Chains A and B, each alone.
Chain A
Amino acid sequence: MSTNLIFEDAPDLAGSLFKNIVEHASDGILVVDYDGYVMLSNPAIAAIFQRHQDEFQGKLFGFPIATGAPVEIDILRKDGLLATAEMRVSEAYWERERVYIAILRDITERKQLETALRLAQEEFATLCHCAPLGMLALRTDWRVKLANPAAESIFGWNGDEMMGSTFLDLSVPLMQDLTEMKQVIQRGKSIMGKEIRHLRRDGTPVDISVSAAPVLDEAGRAAGIMCIVEDISHRVRDAERLRLSGKIFENTQECILVTDAEGVIFSVNPAFVAVTGFTSEEAVGRKPTLLNSGRHDKAFYAEMWHSLIAYGQWRGEIWNRRKNGEIYPEWINISAIHDAHGKVSHYVAVFSDISKVKENEARLQRLADFDLLTGLPNRFLFQDHAELALAQAARNGKQVAILFLDLDHFKTINDSFGHRAGDQVLIEVARRLDGCLRASDTLARFGGDEFNAVLPDIDTPAAAASVAEKIIASLSTPFLIEGQALQVGISIGIAIYPRDGVQIDALALAADAAMYQAKEQGRNSYRIFASDAALFGTRER
């Protein structure tokens, strides 16, 4: 069926040509009169409106207005869908009547594509803007085309400064790294998470992870490079800190034992293995009770746990048992470790074997109380023992003898045979004197050739006198020192508690005085304090 009125009366060549063009044009063509009624329409119009051509012919469309540029209009299709068309309008005359030609091009698909593209761009821009990762679009020469805020902060440059700069300008990676990356991209391959250290604009080093992939054009050539950069400084630092902590744990001299919240051993360090003798495999999974020495009672451990629960910490001395059964003292510090929610997750015990320290303490104690040369108690320990003896005697109504002993002419031995020989004599004298005393007696060296003895619990002063005689006799045998026979005499003064005094000082003075009397009487003798001198007299050998 013929679709137009114009050509019916013009079957000439031009008319036929025009008809052909209109019939086959891909753009819709409407010719309307001044009142907006359709004089002519083509199949493309029917297609754009999804309506039959009969719906246009002679019907009211409207007076089309498009001044200058094409105008976009919405098309109400028969099927209820909307389409978009671009309309151009021109004027013409047909049979002296002015007509208006509207050319409509369906741009629905183009508009949809434009919208989709715009949305995609907006989505991408939003993603880029919000992403915590640095995102860069680079040209093939590695110049920046696009950078997001995260990239700005990672590199320390603002967006404008970055544009057109190369990756090398932005950061100072090792050339080797950059060359490597370039080669990979040139081969059309992508880079996944390459970790490099670069310098920010202000010169501070930052560890970054770089992922990059080429964007290929239709011919498969790289048209650009998409690059994602992640600041991994924290991760690198954490890893380094972890490595260091591990090293400290492994190498410290202190024993470290870590348990979980239930007290099950989680890990131990080599120092622990060295001190306790338990290997890591033997300790892990067990409880620290495997070290119990049995020296502490339940109350001790209860107090320890109380402190751990209440204050998160306990420190002190504890006796533990090694795998070989040996018991040793340790100084230990236990701390509770809390998780992010404040709940105890682990306990860490750091301890050291202090048996050496203990031994040293004991040695220092001996140094304080004993004479180094002879091993006899010194003045201070003697004082303690003497006071103890006097106190006991006061309670029991007994007597105590205080003896002051001084070697005769000891200086001569030192001068003639040397100090070494003198020391040997002193050691031997101490041994012989000690041999003359009971276990309950105390013999002390006061320095030089002065000795003192306290004889607790004696029945009579005569008992002390007989000890003095025994002592003098013990020294009558010469000492064999470095192949020489040496002999030394001794003068002894005796004071009796409570007869000659009740205070140790008074008794010491009395014994001292008696000893000088013995010296004056010709040495190698003893003398009981003067008040009773007549009764017991002196005795010389």
Chain B
Amino acid sequence: MESKTQYHLKLFVVGSSPRTEQAIASLKRICEDEFPGCYELVVIDVLSQPALAEEMKILATPTLIKERPLPARRIIGDFSDKESVLAGMGLLVR
């Protein structure tokens, strides 16, 4: 049976600074708006999982990796504007 989850997202952040909190809040809001009930957002603190960050070649945060649906895409910077984020993830028809 196919999983309901269609959107697999990984967010890489540093600690729990206001910038981190803001990035998480923005993405949750966008996901709830756009993919309610069918997304998975995993937040990874690069300070507690440096090896994973290294493996994923994360150079700066906040970085969001959309793993599914393919093609995978990686965006970096300001996630407060929904349109920009969706466009960055390749989910907006331009």
Q: Are B75 and A65 in contact (CB under 8 A)?
A: yes
Name B73's contact: one of A61, A63, A74 (CB within 8 Å): A63
Chain B residue numbers with a CB within 8 Å of A73 are 60-62, 76-77
What residues of chain B lie closer than 8 Å to A51, measured between beta carbons? 59
* Cβ of A250 under 8 Å from chain B: no
Instruction: Compute how far the CA of A59 lies from the CA of B56 in the bound complex, rounded to whole angstroms.
Output: 12
Taking the nearest CB of chain B, how far is it from the CB of A98, in angstroms?
10
Judge whether A63 and B75 touch: CB under 8 Å: yes
- B68-94 Cβ-contact flags toward A at 8 Å (1 or 0): 000001111111110011001000000
**Contact (Cβ within 8 A) A72 B19:** yes
A463 at the A/B interface (Cβ < 8 Å)? no
B76 lies within 8 A of A74 (CB): no
Q: Which of A82-90, A168-176, A404-412 contacts B (4 or more CB under 8 A)?
A: A82-90
Question: When each residue 17-45 of chain B gets 1 if its CB lies under 8 Å from chain A and 0 otherwise, what string results?
Answer: 00100000000000000000000000000
* Residue with the highest number of chain A CB atoms closer than 10 Å, among B59, B78, B85: B59
> Which A-chain residue is minimally distant from B65 (CB atoms)?
A62
Smallest CB-CB separation from B20: which chain A residue? A74
Q: A75 and B59 in contact (CB under 8 A), knowing A63-B76, A66-B78? A: yes
With A49-B59, A74-B61, A76-B61 as contacts: A67 and B78 at CB distance below 8 Å: yes
Closest Cβ neighbor of B61 among chain A residues: A74
Main secondary structure of the interface of B (DSSP, over half): mixed
| B46 lies within 8 A of chain A by Cβ | yes
Asked whether B57 lies within 8 Å of A67 as measured between CB atoms, the reply is no
Q: How far is the CA of A59 from the CA of B59 in the complex (A)?
A: 11
Q: What is the distance, in angstroms, from B3's C-beta to the closest C-beta of chain A?
A: 26
- Given A59-B57, A65-B88, is A76 in contact with B74 using a C-beta cutoff of 8 Å? no
B57 touching A65, Cβ below 8 Å:
no
Contact residues, A53-85 vs B (CB, 8 A) = 59-67, 71-76, 80, 82, 85
**A67:B81 contact, CB within 8 angstroms:** yes
Assess whether A65 is in contact with B76, with CB atoms less than 8 Å apart.
yes
Are A62 and B19 interface neighbours, CB within 8 A?
no
Q: Count chain A CB atoms within 10 A of each CB in B77, B80, B88 and give the residue with the most.
A: B77
Report how far A73 CA is from B61 CA in the complex, Å: 6
CB-CB under 8 A from A159, the residues of chain B are none
Other-chain residue from B14, B59, B73, B77 in contact with A89 (beta carbon distance below 8 A): B77
Which A residues touch B74, using CB under 8 A?
Answer: 36, 60-63
On whether A82 and B75 interact (CB within 8 A), knowing A67-B81, A76-B58, the answer reads: no
Residues of chain B lying within 8 A (CB to CB) of residue A74: 14, 19, 60-62
Q: Which residues of A contact B14 (CB under 8 A)?
A: 74, 76, 82
CA distance A59 to B74 in the complex (A): 12
Q: Judging by beta carbons under 8 Å apart, are A76 and B75 in contact?
A: no
Interchain nearest-CB distance for B11 vs A (Å)? 12
Residue numbers in A under 8 Å from B85 (CB-CB): 65
A323 shortest CB reach to chain B, Å: 85
What sequence of 0s and 1s flags, for each residue 276-299 of chain A, a beta carbon within 8 Å of any chain B beta carbon? 000000000000000000000000
Q: How far is the CA of A76 from the CA of B59 in the complex (A)?
A: 5
Query: Contact: A61 with B76, CB < 8 Å?
Result: yes
Q: Which residues of A lie under 8 Å from residue B73 when comparing CB positions?
A: 35-36, 63
- Compute how far the CA of A72 lies from the CA of B79 in the bound complex, rounded to whole angstroms: 11
Name which residue of chain B comes closest to A70, CB basis: B78
Q: Identify the closest chain B residue to A55 (Cβ).
A: B59
Bound-state Cα–Cα, A61 to B88, Å: 13
> A residues within 8 A CB of B57?
59-60
Q: With the chains together, A75 CA to B19 CA distance in Å?
A: 13
Cα separation A85 to B60 with both chains bound (whole Å) = 9
Q: Which residues of B contact A (CB under 8 A)?
A: 14, 19, 46, 50, 53, 57-63, 73-81, 84-85, 88
- Of the A-B pairs whose beta carbons lie under 8 Å apart in the complex, a sample of 6, sorted by A's number, is A36-B73, A59-B57, A62-B59, A63-B76, A65-B88, A67-B80
